[in-house]
Amino acid sequence: MINENDNILFIGLGGAGQRHLRILRKLLPKNKFFALRKKFKTPLLNSNFTINNSQNISNKYQITEFSNEDFLYKLKPKLTVISCPTTFHAKYTEIASDIESNVLVEKPGLTSLEEFEKINRLFIGSKKCYFVSFQRLYNPLFIKLKKHLQNNEFGKLIRGNVKVSSYVPNWHPYEDFNELYACKRELGGGVLLTECHELNMIINIFGNPQNIKITPHYNKNFNLNIEDTIFIETTFQNAKIDFDVSFLRKPSQREISLIFEKAKIFLDLDKNILEIEKDEEKNTFHSEFTNEDMFLNQAKDVVNLKNNNKQILSNQRSLSLIIDTLKNKL
C-alpha cells in the first residue's frame, strides 16, 4: 500500500503521463509528486486532450518538475510512473528498480525479448511491483468473458479474429501527429507497439502463441518510417487467431470474435458490447464503463501494490516474442 508520506515519480508528462497524473493525484492527494521532464513540450491538458491555458501542470497538480536525471537517485520514490517514448521504457524501468521503486509503465513496456529478459530478472520473485498500463484488462465485459473461459463453459477454441482501427492524426489535437513517438521508429513507434491492447488481451486469456507470422504494411501517402498496419497470423491453444491492426484507418474499430466448440463470442470494445451465442441462444451484455473508469481501477490496484508480477511478466514475454518477429521482417 502506498502511504501518504511516500514520494511518487513521473517520467514524462505527455498525454499519457498527464492522465496517470490526474488520476493518481485524486487517489493520493497528500503525497509529494515529482516529474522528470526533458523537453517540457506538452502543456497542461484537459481530460479530453485539449489544452488548458488557465494554469500550468506544476500548480494544478502540486508537482515538482526537474530535468537532471541525477536527482532520480535522491528521491527514493515508492512508485515510478513511466510515460516517456517507448524506446526508453526499459531504461527507466531498470533505473526505477535500482532505486527500489515499484513501477507503472505505459504499454508496451518493452521493445524486444532482450529487454524482457532484463526486466524479468529485476522483478520476478521480488517484492517490487511491476505494472504495465493495459487498462482494457479492467473492462468489465472482458472480465466477464474471461470468467466464462476460466470455467471452461465454451469448450475448445476453434478460431478467432481481431480487428483494430484508429486514425493517428486525430489522436492528439494539441500536436502534429508526425511528431508523435508512435510515428517515429527511433522512439519505439509503429502500430504493433502502439495498438497492442487487444493482442495483450488475447495473450492474457490464452497464454503463449505457438506460431507467429507478421506482414507489415506502409501507407506511402503519409511518409512515415514505421509500419501503420499489420496482419498477424498466430496459433493459440492450437487454434488460429488472426489480427488486422491499423492506426491509419477509419472508422474506429476494436472487435474480438472467437469461435468455440459450444459458443460464438463477439466483443466490441468501442461500443462496449459482449455477445455470447450458445445453445441456439444469443445473450447480449452492455457496459457503461468508460476508458477513464478502466484507468481508475488500474490505478487503485497500483496504489494498493497488488503484486501480479508472474502473470504480467508472462504476458510481456509473449508480447516481446511477437515484437521480435516483426523486427525480423523490417
Q: pLDDT class for 40, splitting at 50, 70, 90? A: confident
Alpha carbon of 280 to those of 146, 249, 261, 273, 283: distances in Å?
21, 35, 13, 19, 10
> What mean pLDDT value characterizes the chain?
95
Domains of the chain: 8-133 (3.40.50.720), 140-288 (3.30.360.10)
pTM comes to: 0.96
> Which residues, in sequence order, are CB contacts of 175 under 8 Å at separation 6+?
42
Query: What is the model's pLDDT at position 8?
Result: 98
| Rounded-to-integer distance, Cα 113 and Cα 94, Å | 15
CA distance to 117, 160, 169, 247, 290, per residue, from 176 (Å): 35, 36, 8, 15, 26
Q: Which of 129, 124, 148, 112 is nearest to 263 (CA)?
A: 148
What does the alpha-carbon distance between residue 280 and residue 258 come to, in Å, rounded to a whole number? Answer: 16
pLDDT in tens, 92-151: 999 999 999 999 999 999 999 999 999 999 999 899 999 999 999 999 999 999 999 999
Model pLDDT for residues 238-271, shown as the tens digit of each residue: 999 999 999 999 999 999 999 999 999 999 999 9
Among 1-15, 93-107, 168-182, 251-265, which stretch is predicted with the lowest mean pLDDT? 168-182
Alpha-helical regions (H) of 62-165: 72-75, 89-98, 113-123, 140-150
- Tens digits of per-residue pLDDT, 220-242? 888 899 999 999 999 999 999 99
